[in-house]
Amino acid sequence: GAVVSQHPSWVICKSGTSVKIECRSLDFQATTMFWYRQFPKQSLMLMATSNEGSKATYEQGVEKDKFLINHASLTLSTLTVTSAHPEDSSFYICSARDGGRDSNQPQHFGDGTRLSIL
Amino acid sequence: AQTVTQSQPEMSVQEAETVTLSCTYDTSESDYYLFWYKQPPSRQMILVIRQEAYKQQNATENRFSVNFQKAAKSFSLKISDSQLGDAAMYFCAYKKTTPLVFGKGTRLSVIA
């Protein structure tokens, strides 16, 4: 149980284009979703937290206009990297859990998306 | 804010031997959760083991066990009978109601 599907797994695109990454919970209601970014040989850094039906909460230093997060349903959240540039190249991982802000439910991870901007 | 520290960037172990990965954390909470995640080259995040802070008994999962020292805020992972498939990045993580907070990771190599 508790499967999180993330798509695409790898995307290569030209500088200036926008890229959308989808994160779906397949067998549970993902009331809360998290987006992490991971640079090579580094740890996972939280970018933002989104609750279904409300605006995402971004971590300090993360540009909300650059990284648009939509969490319109209990099973789907999307991260759109707008006007992507080479410095946005990274590994992006979504994570989802049932329950709201104070939930102690475990987080389940997608398999990640490798984004390469040329 | 909670912080998680992994002081060993890299570790190596001979196949079939035992290795211990260190983790310390800082929190003012009394009830929380601690985790070890494994990230192989495929970069999937795989939950290895989980410990609830209110439980004094150390968690075990087959060849994986933890040494949880709440007063010292220490949470080490012991891997027994190491296998080649154990080679990966290992992340220690803390959670209360906030999102998981990760340490910087320890890269484990297993030598045949």
**φ, ψ (nearest 5 deg) of residue A99:** 95, 160
pLDDT tens profile A26-78: 988 888 899 999 998 899 999 999 988 888 999 999 999 999 999 989 999 99
> Of A90, A91, A86, which Cα lies nearest the Cα of A16?
A86
Contact A111, A52 (CB under 8 A): no
Q: If pLDDT is split at 50, 70 and 90, which confidence band does A102 have?
A: low
Quote the tokens at residue B81.
């009978």
Please report the pLDDT score of residue A41 as a whole number.
87
Closest residue in A to B99 (Cα) is A34
- % of chain B exceeding 70 in pLDDT: 100
Of A42, A91, A104, the CB nearest to B43: A91
Q: How many CB atoms lie within 10 A of CB A16?
A: 10
pLDDT tens profile B73-85: 999 999 999 999 9
pLDDT tens profile A7-40: 999 999 999 999 999 999 998 888 889 999 999 8
- What is the C-alpha separation between A104 and B37, in angstroms, rounded? 17
Of B43, B50, B105, the CB nearest to A43: B105
Give the distance from residue B47's alpha carbon to the nearest chain A alpha carbon, in angstroms. 9
Please report the pLDDT score of residue A101 as a whole number.
58
- Is pLDDT above 80 for B1? no
Across the interface, whether the CB atoms of B99 and A93 are under 8 A apart is answered no
Per the DSSP assignment, residues forming a β-bridge with B10 are B107
Q: Which residue has the higher pLDDT, A29 or B26?
A: B26
Of B43, B97, B100, the CB nearest to A112: B43
